[in-house]
Amino acid sequence: MSIVLIGFMGVGKTTIGNLLSEHYDKSLVDIDTYIVETTQLPIPQIFEKYGEKHFRDLEYQALKKWIDQDVIISTGGGIVESELCKELLKQNDNTFWLKCDVEILFNRINHDNNRPNANGKSLNELKTLYSKRELSYNEIAFKHIDANRPREVVASEIIESL
Ligand code: S3P
């Protein structure tokens, strides 16, 4: 069964996924990277050309392909926008929610033009999105991890809890 990291944009899912990947000597599947590689399109272009709904479909296809494999999965922060993805994630006992204050995340992501759902957004807009998604992260995750700490500490807590 895979180990899956969920949480808002900028929380460190890929970095922590890499630490887990090294520790367990298992591959890291970054869903965003997988989509970019398979479509040969950067994420902002997928959003622009085909719309967010299409991106969510691609996320679902990717998650379905990998979730039962023996890998570490780093998801995109919006994966909980898809009910189908939520159902898959709920069935996985190793889904970890990396939790971090939205004020900290805002400074990391609001000028990132590779993140269409964050780029140019105000703190209030991001807080609204975060509050909505928080309910889903909370509902889905097997465990909540405080990600307001050094990444090595976060990874160690995940490893100890498994
Ligand atoms: C998104 C988060 C991104 C990426 C896409 C949409 C979102 O992943 O999937 O830009 O809607 O929150 P990260 O959480 O890795 O930034």
**What is the CA(116)–ligand 1 centre distance, in A?**
8
- The answer to the question of whether 13 is labelled as a binding residue is yes
Containing structural domain, residue 110: 3-160
E-strand spans in 10-155?
A: 28-30, 72-74, 95-99, 143-146
Q: Which atom of ligand 1 is nearest to the CA of 74?
A: 15
pLDDT at 1: 87
Average pLDDT over residues 70-76: 98
pTM: 0.98
Which of 5, 6, 32, 121 gets mutated to test ligand 1 (max ligand atoms within 8 A of its CB)? 32
What is the predicted pLDDT for the residue at 87? 97
Query: How many domains does the chain fold into?
Result: 1
Provide the pLDDT confidence category of residue 97 given band limits of 50, 70 and 90.
very high
Q: In a 3-state reduction of DSSP, which class is residue 55? A: helix
What residue type is 113 in one-letter code? N
Span 108-133, pLDDT tens digits: 999 999 999 999 999 999 999 999 99
Q: What is the CATH number of the domain that holds 135?
A: 3.40.50.300
Each residue's pLDDT tens digit, 139-156: 999 899 999 999 999 999
- Using the mean position of ligand 1's atoms as its centre, give its distance from the Cα of residue 93 in Å: 23
